[in-house]
A = this chain, B = another copy of it.
Amino acid sequence: MTRQTAMLNAYTPGAGQLSPGDRSLADRRAAALGPAYRLFYDTPVHLVRGEGVHLYDAQGSAYLDCYNNVASVGHCHPRVVQAMATQAATLATHTRYLHETILTYAERLLALFPAELPHVMFTCTGSEANDLALRIARAATGGTGIIVTDNAYHGVTLATAEMTMSFGPAVAPGPTVFPIPAPSAANYPQGIAAGFAQAVTKACDRMAAQGIKPALLIVDTIFSSDGVFPDPEGFLAPAAAAIRKAGGLFLADEVQPGFGRTGSRFWGFERHGLIPDMVSMGKPMGNGYPLAGLALQPRVIADFGAKARYFNTFGGNAVAAAVGLAVLDVIRDEALQENAAIVGAAFARGLRSLAQRHEALGDTRAAGLFIGQTILTDGKPDPVRAARLVNALRDNRILISSTGANGDSLKIRPPLPFSLANVDQVLTTLDRLLPTL
């Protein structure tokens, strides 16, 4: 498995067909934000407005959003905005005073988890949630060894960047981080469930040989950055058992699959019939408001909680809690999980049907509105063609990106109110574009 060395779908400064106005913005951006920031696309998109599943540029053109899982209940959802504004005008305080909204929210959120996970801690970002999980896992296990997949993304703090293989060689993996191949059929031809579990056990054996005790197996339960690997349902359970047998914990990173996106279940891990030791959450949790968190089993947090205390200045503040509640309300009241199941299934069916006419479309891997679509040339995965397609879609006002260790797949991850008509627009556009690329 080749690890990517550059960011997928990144703009090359100075290139592209930018208007003079957009070129000026790009220049101001480089001057003010410095060299570490990247834009999307060969020609970046300049946005001024969002609503539902659409984003609008400065000329008023609508882009169909098939990518942004943060604004998961729809861009600028009025109920979420209202909840934020009302609470921010009333009280925006932290967790060292008693305040009821955070409790109401925590209880509503925890009711969506198995009873084995009765606690939740709040952070602002998924990075902070995974970073906190690592601190807690170290305290609970006495170990430091971490198992991740080959092209995993788990965050940008020092500790989580060291377990984020998708940054490529520029960010060295930590000395106690042990990557294993992602659970694709290609990587485990003898069977994903047994093979992936065996890879976990072997990684633990390599740790033991170096005197490292296991702390954590952490996986994004839909393997977003590895290429999207949802199936077969249940394949993760033996891997979770394997890390536990070796004395480590199993952390389900639900930052991407969580909050109903996979359609059949609210959380990605539920498709695998297992109970994680910890579950991290983020992106869609506040529909864009910086809200993230970590659900935990009591035995995992007992030792850390007694000794180390936790406080996050903004994490779980009153506004975050009100926003989080509104997001849960909207998911329920607009039946967005059910919509993700129905529309996601239609999307996957449509792609598979299209693949019968277009040799560029390979394997479709989908769970609800999370879809990985391999792009082929002459029957082989082709990251260059995938990149051309991503940019051609952008020029046709459909926003999407690529994924996988070498970027050979489309990553399709629209806001959950995506409709069958939206699917049709994407399929029709693909049908038209594919023969030209």
Report which A residues bind B (CB closer than 8 A): 7, 10, 22, 25-26, 28-29, 31-40, 44-50, 55, 68, 70-71, 75-76, 78, 80-81, 84-85, 88-100, 102-103, 106-107, 110, 118-121, 124-128, 131-132, 134-135, 156-159, 161, 167, 170-171, 282-283, 287-290, 296, 298, 301-302, 304-317, 319-320
Contacts and interface: CB of A to CB of B under 8 A. Distances in A.
B47 A99 contact: yes
Grouping DSSP codes into helix (H, G, I), strand (E, B) and loop, the A interface class, with mixed when no group exceeds half, is mixed
A74 to B, nearest CB: 11
Given A26-B98, A76-B91, A98-B39, A32 B70 contact: no
Nearest to A159: B158
A161 B308 CA distance: 10
A365 B91 CA distance: 31
A25 B171 contact: no
Most chain B CB within a 10 A radius of its CB, from A90, A132, A306: A90
Given A106-B32, A171-B308, A319-B288, A44 B98 contact: yes
A110 B158 contact: no
Nearest to A5: B307
Given A70-B313, A125-B128, A91 B307 contact: no
Contacts of A26: 98
Contacts of A88: 76, 80-81, 84-85, 288-289
19 contacts: A7-B309, A34-B296, A35-B301, A36-B308, A36-B309, A37-B311, A38-B309, A39-B96, A40-B96, A49-B90, A68-B93, A76-B92, A81-B89, A84-B84, A93-B288, A128-B128, A134-B158, A157-B159, A167-B308
Nearest to A18: B98
Given A36-B308, A50-B92, A75-B93, 20 more contacts: A28-B107, A32-B110, A33-B106, A33-B316, A39-B97, A47-B91, A55-B91, A71-B93, A76-B92, A92-B288, A124-B124, A124-B125, A124-B128, A125-B312, A125-B313, A134-B158, A156-B310, A156-B311, A157-B157, A283-B313
B313 A45 contact: no
B25 A98 contact: yes
Contact of A34 (B33, B40, B121, B127): B121
Contacts of A314: 70, 124-125, 288-290
Contacts of A283: 313
Contact of A118 (B31, B124, B127): B31
A70 to B, nearest CB: 6
A55 B121 contact: no
A114 to B, nearest CB: 15
Contacts of A37: 95, 121, 305, 309-311
